[in-house]
Structure 1
């Protein structure tokens, strides 16, 4: 039984021995590169992945039952490394696209907020330009009160309420249009 174990040990590949390691590297490196390029046609990346695998093998200084088991390990390791590289690359690409989309959305959102602020400021400025009596009628109408309620509350006729609302709408429309036009020109 001991003789059989010794014979089996002769097939073992001990990668802690630098000579065995170098021999296996020379035997398998070209095969690995050809194999890898079939899945990922970037020779530089494949070479880097292969070097990483060999570095891990050297650091572990493992022993393999035979050459076939070692080759199987090499090719599976490279295949997994390629899949991980592709997966990582896809994740990075998705992340970059998400960041770009968020930046675009953020830039667009910021632009909208700026425009909204400018319009708000414009409306407030024009609203403040209205005469006090016209402004109080207009505020009451914007709060949802009927013309009759406004006339009773402010002790003015319904026709005066209508006139103030009409004048306010007219004035604000014209002034806001002029101001917005100026904003757009100076952008």
Structure 2
């Protein structure tokens, strides 16, 4: 089943997990600590009470940390700092769009937006990308020729949705582990690119 189909069929908890996990993997671009989204992960394992308050608190904390982190105007070649600036902008937009209400309708739109943004971020930062990668094709299951970072991000998005569809709240811990792995990978990529510019 394609990623697009999985998102279309996901329930409220699965959609929330899909969006949170995409954002969690991109936390290195926001300049915050790795645990900033823990309250939302905890909410996924619960009944969702206090979701709006947790979202407001996290958004304020993460936005403060992100001030000045990649906030410059997007410019320069994709292989230079412009790619990081564009990726950081996409991550901040994901954070700003977290719905204050944990409803299936709002979450489905957000999860879909986060899916595209996270894949775009990995495409921007993948030195193996030739510029012809189609995120739409990737999400619809046509993955031939996808660069490694994008392929791995697609796999993680699919895995999270499958875990929540198959196990409900019991799948949240495994989804968190999948996301943490992806976050470490992206952090390594960002660090390596930074070292390459010094």
Q: Normalising by the residue count of structure 2, what TM-score does the alignment of the two structures yield?
A: 0.26
Give the structure with the larger helix fraction.
1
Report the structure number with the largest CA radius of gyration: 1
Q: Normalising by the residue count of structure 1, what TM-score does the alignment of the two structures yield?
A: 0.27
Which structure would you say has the larger RCO, counting Cα contacts within 8 Å and 6 or more residues apart?
2
